Structure 1
Amino acid sequence: MPRKKRQRISLHEDGNTIVLDMGPIEIWDGADLALLRETVNRQVEMEKRESISFAMHPVKYVPSGFFGMLLDCFDRGIEIHLLSPNEHVQKMLWFQRFFATKDGENFFLHSGPSEEIPHDQPLPWASEDDHHTWDANESKRPRVPSLYRT
């Protein structure tokens, strides 16, 4: 008799959102992400959910595709919440730039940082040495070493 695959996500209603809980797993891998993606797609497409929450308290690391999955949902108009993410997740750059909180414990995905960087200005994190404006008509081009130079 074939063994039944154990489902590792528990789902429960909490007000107007569905909470996805992976249990005590600290590090999510690609297989966990695939299971999450399948479950989220089912909740959005078949169950017509408009709000999805992820229980994050034990999680210390998530694969990079997790944020992409969240953005895909957000772009479709789904509210995204991370419940009690620990300090490891809160230190991730994507988390710091795209999540906000009202209560200090639970976070919601928003449209991103409000600061805009003008296209003709150097990036705020660039060093002074990086501030070179390229002129297409410049007569002197940087020399590129050639292996075939004679």
Structure 2
Amino acid sequence: MVSQKKQRLTVCIEEDLAIVSLDRMEIWDGADLALIRETLTSLIEQDGYRAIGINLSAVKYIPSGFFGMLFEWYEQGLKVCLYDPQVNVAQMLWFRMFFISEDHGSYILNDHEMRGNSPSEQVAYRRREFMSQDESNDDDDDDDVEVEVEVHRKSAHYAVRGQV
């Protein structure tokens, strides 16, 4: 593995994959996004990498333009991976809709099921998929809420009995 420093950005090369990381940057602003874009563009256009990765282990907030940038490269045929996202990043809508877990904290950008469909068909599909995920999560949450409510009712019932 080869590493090189460029300002506060680290690039690690693992075989045919270039992984970029902003050192200890929790919140990315426009300048950070521009630095990542410039670095990845150089790795793609000048060095010929067809697989890129971004280490998100320290990141708590990502600007909205980040996903659009990644999706543009994905549409050009690049493999796009994200590594070790924190929970709040992994819960972002675009992340949940377009990234598939591979293993050990790595996620790959994937839209194979909808490739070749119109944008409106893609949006409708993603909305259905996303809503079905939320509904299944809500079903799990409902069980917990019912149990908590039931326990609360029992304790309130016993408290009333104790006062009588």
What TM-score, normalized to structure 1? 0.70
CA shift, 1:21, in A, is: 0.8
Structure 2: give runs of 5+ residues left out of the alignment. Answer: 1-5, 132-164
Q: Which amino acid aligns with 1:72?
A: E
Task: Give the secondary-structure state (helix, strand or coil) at the position aligned to 2:40.
Answer: helix
1:95 is matched with which residue?
A: 95
Matched letter for residue 110 of structure 1 = N
**1:16: Cα distance to partner?**
2.0
Q: Secondary structure at the match of 1:80?
A: strand
Overall identity of the aligned pairs, in %: 34
Instruction: After TM superposition, give the deviation of residue 113 of structure 1 in Å.
Output: 6.4
* CA–CA separation in structure 2 for the residues paired with 1:10 and 1:57: 13
Tell me the secondary structure at the aligned position of residue 10 of structure 1. strand
* 1:111-132 Cα distance to aligned partner (Å, 9 max, x none): 1765x987xx9x767xxxxxxx
CA contact (8 A) 1:100 1:109 kept: yes
SS at match of 2:52: strand
Higher helix fraction (1 or 2): 2
Q: Which runs of 4+ in 1 moved over 4 A?
A: none
Instruction: Specify the alignment match of 1:72 in structure 2.
Output: 72
CA contact (8 A) 1:81 1:107 kept: yes
In structure 1, distance between residues paired with 2:98 and 2:60: 18
Q: Distance in 2 between matches of 1:93 and 1:112?
A: 18
Give the unaligned 5+ runs of structure 1. Answer: 1-5, 126-150
Cα offset, 1:109, TM superposition:
0.3
**CA-atom RMSD, angstroms?**
2.3
Deviation at 1:9, TM superposition (A): 1.1
The aligned counterpart of 2:38 is 38
Q: Alignment partner of 2:89: what SS? A: helix
Aligned residues between the structures: 116
Q: How do 1:5-84 residues align onto structure 2 when only pairs under 5 Å count?
A: 7-84=7-84
Aligned to 1:105: 105
Whole-Å Cα distance in 2 between the matches of residues 95 and 105 of structure 1?
13
Whose relative contact order is higher, 1 or 2, with alpha carbons under 8 Å and at least 6 apart?
1
Partner of 2:144: none
Structure 2: how far apart are the matches of 1:112 and 1:62?
25
